[in-house]
Structures are given as C-alpha cells and as structure tokens.
A and B are shown apart, each in its own frame.
Chain A
Amino acid sequence: MSANREMIFKRPQALSGASTHYCPGCTHGIIHRLVAEAIDELGLRERTVGVAPVGCSVLAYNYFNVDFMEAAHGRAPALATGFKRCRPDMIVFTYQGDGDLASIGMGEIIHSANRGEKFTTIFVNNAIYGMTGGQMAPTTMPGQKTTTTPAGRDVALSGYPIRVAELITSLRTPAFIARVAVHTPMHVIDAKRNIRKAFRLQKENRCFSLVEVLSTCPTNWGMSPSASTQWVASDMMPYYPLGIFKDPEREEG
C-alpha cells in the first residue's frame, strides 16, 4: 500500500477471515459482519463468548474470532444463561435461526428473556429451515411453498407465522427488542445501529437484548438473490414490521 493511501475498510477483528459456506445471496455473511463490527467498536472481543445454534449458522464458530460454544438445537439461550450467570463480567451472545429459536427453542428464549438474562440474541428470520433443505418453519409465510408445504403453508393446519419480536415484547421484564432487515444498504446501516445498541446495553449490564433480522434464503425459496431481497420487502416486511419494540432507554425517558 502506498504512503498516500489510507485503509478505510477492512475485516473486523472479531471475524476470523475464514470463507463462509453460506449460499450466494444469503445474508448471514452481512449479519456476521455487523455483529463483529459492533463487538470491535465496543472493545468487547477479548471478553466475548458466542453461542452457535443448529441450522445454517451451526459453523458460526469458524467465522468469528471469539470464544464459542456449540449448542444443542434451540438451547443456545440456556447455554448463554448458564455461562453469563457464572461469568457476569463477560459478554455473551447467541446467534440463532428461526427453526432453532422459534420452534424447538421457544421455551428457552422466552424464559431467558423473562428472567432478564443479560445476554444478546441475534435472531435470523428467513421464514424457512435452511440447512435441512427448506422445510416449513414457524415463521414461514401463509401460502409459502416449502418442502413440507408443497401446496403452500395452510394456516388452517399450521397456524400463522410467529412474530417473535412482538411475542417477547409482551413480557413485562425490561429488554431491548428490535426487528431489522439487511436487504438494502439503508437497512444494513439501521441494522448495525440496533445490533450495536443491543451489545452496548449488555456491556452496561442493563437488560436482555434481542435483534430479529429479516434474512434471505434464495436456495430454498427458489429465487434469485435479487428476487429474494425484493421478497423480503414485498412479502415479509408487511407481516414482520421493522422497528424498536422495546427499549429500556425509552421507557426510562
């Protein structure tokens, strides 16, 4: 690099540099980066422990440059609870998909949030089971075709998609709860702001924090990457509105 050039963009220290296995057009890579940037900017890397889920991001521990645990399916919030209670001086986050968090792990996330466990959950909602090959998730949209709903999700048989951010917001325990998207640069910037705030509130030992991120799955949606980003806006966002649902700083005025 010549002397008159300045490095203005580089890999965050909290990312390992390993190439990910994610499909083209999947937004896990963006979300990983935003989490890593937040960890770097808050100076937390050397005291952070991540918890990987079961699902597409099962190998997240290869991509982050922090200590990691690999949880059983849905149990990441229980691992995070156990760890954080024993080491309240450390920073703990779970990274979970919608099958992991909203189906098999619903009990663990609700009770962790309700106890006010002081860790951060990054909840990646792409409305489908990705790793197992595109089966219906609790977040699958009405009418959405999956490998277990070939005629589209029938709400008379499977109910409506679960809105996790709203569900956890209904708990009285103070928390930071937001839903963001990463399908446009503008949304990426907003997502970053909220993810950073979630980690900052944990750093200040304030509350449980959860950021739901609307994500894409071109492979299992059967769409091109660009059509997938459009589907997030046209089909997911009307049902899953973006915004901050709960904010301890707002509540305290």
Chain B
Amino acid sequence: MAKKLMKGNEAIAEAAIAAGARNFFAYPITPQNEVGEYLSWRLPEVGGVFVQAESEVAVGNMLFGAASTGKRVFTTSSSPGISLMQEALSYMSGAQLPVVIVNIMRGGPGLGGILPSQADYYQATKAGGHGDYRVIVLAPSSVQEAVDLMILAFDLADKYRNPVMMIGDGMIGQMMEAVEFPKDYREPSNPDAKDWALTGAGGRAPRIVKSLFLNPEQLEKNALALGEKYKRVKAEEVRYDLYRVTDKNQILIVAYGTMARICQTAIDELETEGISVGLFRPISLFPFPEKEIHIEAVKPNIKVVLDIEMSLGQMVEDVERCVRGGKPISFYGRTGGIVPTPNEIKDKVRDLLGIKQ
C-alpha cells in the first residue's frame, strides 16, 4: 500500500481498523479529538460500533462490557480523561479483559493544559487504579510507529487477556507524517473462539466475567495468576531501540516517545562537535527494558546516564532502579507542555562533560 500523509490521531484510528477492531467508545477531549471524529464516519463504513459516551467513567465501563463479548474494543483519550478511566482499568485488569486504550498525553496535574507532555508515566506504568495489577504500556516516537504499535497493542491484549495502553504525547497525535498501513487488514476476531467470552450459556455452564473474589484465598489466587502473567509479559514483550550506541559514547541518553526523536537531533549535532552520545529508547514502558538498560549503562565508556523527559522526572526512577548505582544518573526535563529543544539537550550534555560553552 502506498504511503499516505496523515495526522497522528487519524492514523491511530485507521490502524485500529487495520487490526480488526470495530468497537469504539469515547468522550471528546483535546488534543485527541480527531480520533473520534474520524471513527464517527469510518466505523459505520466497515459495519462497526461508534458510541460517544456521557463521560470517561462510562467509556471505561462500556469497554468492560464490550470486551466481555470477545470482540476487539478500544478507546482514545487524554490525561484527565484517562484518570477517569482508572476505575474500569482496575476492574478490567482484575477480570482479565483485552482492551486497548490510547492516551495522547497533555500537561497536568488537574486540568493542566492542552500541550504535549509525558507526565502520565507513573499513572500508566505503575497501576493508576487500585489493586495489584499492571497494564502493558507502549510508547511510539513517530506516526508510523504509532500505527505499528496500535496493531501490536490489540495482539498483545488478546494474547495476555490484559489491558494495553499506548501513550503518546500531544505531538504524536497532532503532527502529520507519511505512514504506511498493512496491505491486508485483519478480519474482526471471532468471539466464539475465546473460551471465556460471554456468548450465551447454550450447551455449556454459564460464564462469569468479574473481579470480585470475597474469599481471600481465591482473591490471592487470582492475584498470583495475574503476577505470573506479568512475569511472562516481562520475559517476552520487552521492546526498545538503540540510536548511535557505540563504544565511543561518553553519555547514554534514555528517552521515549517524541522526546527521543528530539534527542536524536541533538545527538546528531553533538556528533559533529566530536561529542559521542548514544540513545536508549524504551518502546515498551511496561515491561520496562530493565536488563537491557543496565547492560548499556554500565559499559566502561559511559560516564553518565542522562534521562530526558517532558515531565519533572518519572521514568528516571525506573532508570535508576535498573542501573542499580552502576553509573551516575542525571536528569533533564521540561513540563507543563514545554518541549525541551535540541539546544537545551546539547547544553546539558556539554555541562555534564565539563565542556565550557
């Protein structure tokens, strides 16, 4: 299929169709409204379901009901809306329902602003709702990668019977880039093939989709089963990318999403000054590339690991955890919708290397 110039939000919407998803529930919120607007005409074209809900609380719970059919279901929202879905995310995690949620992050806390941010890292990766659970989290750094990860998200959700969240900052949603969709779109999945889906108790015992286990032994058993699943996710689904990582690097930058792309520009420019910097870009934020970051960080040529985010520093805690004191860790970030520029990153790198400017 030929490449198309598309806005990130619309490309994400089309990618869901390509993944065989036909059931979308959402509530309007900036900066991701193009997803819902696109799907409001696109889904009827392919016989799908589009519901504009009364709130994100309702959206999350509509997803619970919709996912219980065994069909592929999804929503997109932005930070304050994602906060309202945490109730349902906790319940869906407990009930092991496959669902895909996209967060096009904006600045917070509270109503915050509408400009790009990465300040929902904690919420996405550490269980934003109550209880012992984890959500698989993917972070694209281009519109094409958003398309690819959106399709992967549905596969992972089905494979693990678990919510999957794709988090992009407002820039991923709003910018236009050339994208390519798979030649063959997936057929919508068959609910009858799922031995847990609610298809009616005809010729079999009733099925129950629930997160309630009043007996503590049963609740612990359910939690342990979730724990085993998260271990498998950690073992099998780590994804990351390396950029200009060589044994000449003096500094290893760790950054994800749009921030990682801006770091690439800074790294290219520093290279022309004779300063060698490598980039470690986590693509899966849960599971976090724990071993892989450690291996790169402790290489003898690395003087400092520099974590850069569009937040006050959230992922940096995971980086510190993984490097385990093996190297000094530094952080640089802007927040509130301000995006660090390549010049700011270059200044920070020179500063760390003691290069007078």
Contacts and interface: CB of A to CB of B under 8 A. Distances in A.
Interface in A69-95: 69-72, 75, 78-87, 90
B152 interface: no
Interface string B58-98: 11111111111101010000000000000110010001000
Interface in B156-212: 191, 198-203, 206-212
Contacts of A68: 198, 206-210
Nearest to A16: B206
Specify which of B23, B57, B62 lies most central, judged by the most chain A CB atoms within 10 Å of its CB.
Answer: B62
Interface string B35-72: 00000000000000101011101111111111111010
A16 to B, nearest CB: 8
Specify which of B59, B91, B208 lies most central, judged by the most chain A CB atoms within 10 Å of its CB.
Answer: B208
A208 interface: no
Nearest to A44: B200
Interface residues of B, number: 40
B87 to A, nearest CB: 6
Nearest to B210: A70
B104 to A, nearest CB: 22
Given A69-B210, A86-B23, A86-B71, A79 B64 contact: yes
Given A69-B198, A107-B54, A79 B208 contact: no
A197 interface: no
B25 interface: yes
Contact of A71 (B63, B64, B73, B206): B64
A99 B88 CA distance: 19
Given A81-B51, A82-B64, A46 B210 contact: no
A221 interface: no
Contacts of A80: 65
Interface of B: 23, 25, 49, 51, 53-55, 57-69, 71, 73, 87-88, 91, 95, 191, 198-203, 206-212
For the complex of A and B, the 4 pairs showing the least CB-CB separation, nearest first, are A82-B65, A46-B202, A79-B65, A82-B66
12 contacts: A45-B201, A58-B212, A78-B65, A79-B62, A81-B62, A82-B67, A83-B66, A83-B68, A85-B49, A86-B49, A86-B65, A111-B54
